[in-house]
Structure 1
Amino acid sequence: MAIILHELVGTDQGRPFSPHCWKTVMSLAHKGLPFDRNRVSFKEIPKLENGYSAKVPIIRDEDKLVADSFAIALYLEDRYPDRPSLFKGEGGRAMARFVEGWSQMIIHPFINVVILMPVHDLLDTSNQAYFRESREKVFGRTLEDVAATRDTKREAFTASLEPIRKTLLSQPFIGGESPLFADYIIFGAFQWVRVLTSYKLFDAGDPVQDWFERCLDLHGGVAREIKAAA
């Protein structure tokens, strides 16, 4: 029986956008595990699996439920040890913890600004109201005011990616010669932008763009199957 992945969409069922859900998509594909994708809106999440989690991703593997992309990766690693490893040992798990924290503190703040209005515009009226109220409470101002700061923040964001560039000078993936969960953590954030907006994150010739393209081609191109936003 295939694993069920509950993931987030707006009105377009063919455009799943959650960065955390994309981490899980890539983790499942990395393990070579068949899975079915159940795509839901923000307001449908509390109804999933008898209210199991307030957020997605959630997976159901037979009678086992797991939420949170990192917890899911750990579960898959332990449950399916005979399949390709997401961490390659305790060092890889520790590295992924660092990358997760770094991504949340350095990458996500800028990308949250980039995707605010594209996410809002992809939702139906009811979900738009929820999204606006919840995000404006966090930011303390309107979505439009936050989004207007996007271009002034881009240079600092580009500079912040220098640790990844340095890493990619000596290896094709953050995980080394092949990708690990650490790659999927960063990839999920950039895929978030790709499927929602044509906003250009990278300058021409940026090694991070080249790495992102390599990730899009992984696992039969499961991520590239979702077309980039026009």
Structure 2
Amino acid sequence: MTRKLYSLCGSDRARPFSPHVWKTAMSLAHKGLDFDTVPIGFTEIPAVEDGATRLVPLLRDGERLVKDSFEIAQYLERNYPDRPTLFGGDGAMAIARFVEGWSQTTLHPAITRVIIRDIHDRLDPVDQAYFRESREKRFGTSLEAVAESGAASLETFAQKLEPLRHMLKFQDFLGGATPLFADYIVFGAFQWARIVSPQRLLHSGDPVTDWFERCLDLHGGLGRSVTAA
């Protein structure tokens, strides 16, 4: 059975960058499940699988289509219980929801402002037009103004990582001695920035940097299969 993971890319189809797709890629590798990556651009998403989704990731597992990275992780946990766990129990699943909320409301908005022009510049022209229109509508200002505010916030970006930094003083991963889906949630955000932007959000000597390097090495170095920008 061939699994397909639809993955968001720019003009270089060998460089998938979606943070949410990276969560799913790491989850599949964690479970030891083979999959093929299907690269698509922003404006191609509505035509995928007869309009099955407006967003990626989308996983085809045999006859099943599953969307949303958290729902996919839950699906993999239910359907492949004999493989390594992504959650380690209901309590860890609930905590992963909290981590997802922190990532989506604190980490992603901050990273977006820093890398938004880099994302735009890596897209095909048709996707650049879509990206500019949709993001300027979302932010209520130009991409250039968003990027300017992101550059100004870089000095304080490290402060937003303090909850993560504190936790990593006591253990190698958010999951403890070994990674769980909560790790992949946060990893996806930093992998997104690493692939699309030369801006460096993490610095040597930071426990978060050490954690991210460990994550890049997981599953045969899956995270390093795409080089840094």
Structure 2 length-normalised TM: 0.98
- The residue correspondences of 1:125-144 to structure 2 (distance < 5 A) are 125-144=125-144
Residue 203 of structure 2 corresponds to: 203
**What's the CA shift for 1:25?**
0.4
The aligned amino acid for 2:96 is A
Residue 13 of structure 1 corresponds to: 13
Gaps of 5+ in 1: none
Residues 43-98 of structure 1, C-alpha deviation per residue, up to 9 Å, x if partnerless? 11000011001001000011100000000000000000000000000011001000
| Dislocated runs of 4+, deviation >3 Å | none
Structure 1 length-normalised TM: 0.98
Residues 127-152 of structure 1, C-alpha deviation per residue, up to 9 Å, x if partnerless? 11110000000011100111011232
Distance 2:189 2:45 in 1: 21
Is structure 2 residue 177 aligned with structure 1 residue 174?
no
Q: For the aligned residues, what is the CA RMSD?
A: 0.8
**What's the CA shift for 1:28?**
0.3
Residue 164 of structure 1 corresponds to: 164
Residue 74 of structure 1 corresponds to: 74
Contact 1:107 1:157 in 2 (8 A): no
Contact 2:119 2:197 in 1 (8 A): no
Q: Which deviates more, 142-151 or 172-181?
A: 142-151
**What's the CA shift for 1:155?**
3.0
- The residue correspondences of 1:53-72 to structure 2 (distance < 5 A) are 53-72=53-72
**What's the CA shift for 1:154?**
1.9
- The residue correspondences of 1:43-122 to structure 2 (distance < 5 A) are 43-122=43-122
Residue 194 of structure 1 corresponds to: 194
Quote the sequence identity (%): 58
Residue 220 of structure 1 corresponds to: 220
Gaps of 5+ in 2: none
Q: Which deviates more, 55-64 or 144-153?
A: 144-153
Corresponding residue SS for 2:33: coil
Distance 2:27 2:49 in 1: 21
